[in-house]
Structure 1
Amino acid sequence: MRNKLFHILFFLGSLSLFAQSDSLSVKEEKVLVVIDSLAPKEDYDPLAPAQAAFYSAVLPGLGQAYNKKYWKIPIIYAGIGTGIYFYVQNTNDYNRFRDAYKRRLAGFEDDEFQGISTDRLIDAQETASRNRDISIVVSIGFYLLNIIDANVDAHLKQYNISEDLTLQPKVEMDPINTVPNYGLTLTFNLK
């Protein structure tokens, strides 16, 4: 009888198990998705540095505009313009000194540099020529720096650098002497 009772209870228990498996319960989960609005992800463009450098080579400052660094454009034009201004100024000075020297060699003493000796006119020509050369080198240097800056800035623009810079104290116990070691930790993530 016990055995029969056990079989009946087992049969009824298994029916309740099967009955539960037929009913489905749906569980609804809500997920909150947080989008980081501080640093939007941009697709990696391997040609962006080359484009920025090309634009700056064609028209100085155009690569900086491409990189959206508009504040650099006046600096570029000020550097190039200053070099060109001094190039023109030194060329005019050189021509004035040279013309006065040529007139002195021809025997005329009525030039604008009457109080200056002929040797000083030669030195003034050399100084004006050297300054003219330096001025053109400065202009070319600003032009090349413009191209290099656009290229490097376009490269660095594609790196996602986290805004989370943390500086925190750190205390560790020396396991041998059981003496605390104090330190300062700077953590930054390059992602």
Structure 2
Amino acid sequence: MLILAIAFYSATFFAQKDSTGVKLKDIKIKGNISTTEGVYNPLSPSKAAFYSAIFPGMGQMYNEKYWKAPIVWAALAIPTYYYQVNNSAYKRFRTAYKLRKNGLQDEFTSDNGISSVSLQTLETAQKQLRENRDMSLLSGVIIYILQIVEASVNAHLLQFNTDDNLSFKPALIMNPIRFETPSVGLVIKYNF
């Protein structure tokens, strides 16, 4: 323990000394200092991801991309709907299968004992409906995660400088010397 404590505190022993000799208390500032926040906000992407995780589509609204929120809601509503449909049908066939195995009448058996669906069909339907239900759940989880990632990435990209000086402007420039045989080329100009 002693060696570990010496290793941690040794960093302060070998630290650089202040070469200016000016202490922070001795600095006097004349006038007002304006502390305006710049364009870059490092917490913005994490806030957008947090809001999207709490309520889907809220991160998109935080980024002021209000038109994306209904798309997120619809994208999550579709797998939710199919999950519920497949789950209820799975439970229906599962109940019928259990009743049939116990020798009781199920919803697919008429009053005179004739069944419209075989036992093998009930098993196959259960298997297929369970797979469909699980795929709906998986696609819903993937869409949920993607909307969180999208909100975070969009918040990152909103902080980049996108003024008109950074745009790409293609132009056709004809060569007057080779007017009859046009030449094709690419020229990239950087202006700072």
Give the TM-score taking structure 1 as reference length: 0.67
Q: Which residue of 2 aligns with 1:137?
A: 138
Identity between Structure 1 and Structure 2 (%):
37
The answer to whether the 8 A contact 1:103-1:111 is kept is: no
Q: Quick one: distance in 1 between partners of 2:160 and 2:191?
A: 8
Task: Supply the RMSD in Å over aligned alpha carbons.
Answer: 3.0
More relative contact order, 1 or 2 (CA 8 Å, 6+ apart): 2
Matched residue type, 1:116: V
Q: Quick one: distance in 2 between partners of 1:131 and 1:69?
A: 33
User: How many residues are matched?
Assistant: 148
1:44 counterpart = 2:36: no
Offset at 1:143?
Answer: 0.8
1:166 counterpart = 2:162: no
Q: Quick one: distance in 1 between partners of 2:191 and 2:79?
A: 39
The answer to whether the 8 A contact 2:94-2:126 is kept is: yes
Aligned counterpart for 1:71 among listed residues 51, 63, 67: 67
Q: Which residue of 2 aligns with 1:27?
A: none
Q: Which structure is larger by alpha-carbon Rg, 1 or 2?
A: 1
- Structure 1 residues 110, 142: CA separation in 2 closer, same or farther (over 3 Å shift)? closer
- Structure 1 residues 43, 185: CA separation in 2 closer, same or farther (over 3 Å shift)? same
Offset at 1:126?
Answer: 0.5
Q: Which residue of 2 aligns with 1:154?
A: 155
1:1-191 alignment runs, 5 A limit:
43-112=39-108, 114-163=115-164, 164-170=167-173, 182-183=183-184, 185=186
Structure 2 SS opposite 1:165: coil
Offset at 1:188?
Answer: 8.7
Q: Which residue of 2 aligns with 1:35?
A: none
Structure 1 alignment gaps of length 5 or more: 1-41, 175-179
Structure 2 SS opposite 1:111: coil
Deviation sequence 1:30-70 (CA, Å, 0-9, x none): xxxxxxxxxxxx61111111111111111111110010111
The answer to whether the 8 A contact 2:108-2:117 is kept is: no
Q: Quick one: distance in 1 between partners of 2:52 and 2:189?
A: 33
Q: Quick one: distance in 1 between partners of 2:144 and 2:190?
A: 35
More strand by share: 1
Offset at 1:169?
Answer: 2.0
Q: Quick one: distance in 2 between partners of 1:188 and 1:162?
A: 17
- Structure 1 residues 67, 167: CA separation in 2 closer, same or farther (over 3 Å shift)? same
Matched residue type, 1:132: R
Structure 2 alignment gaps of length 5 or more: 1-37, 110-114
The answer to whether the 8 A contact 1:100-1:111 is kept is: yes
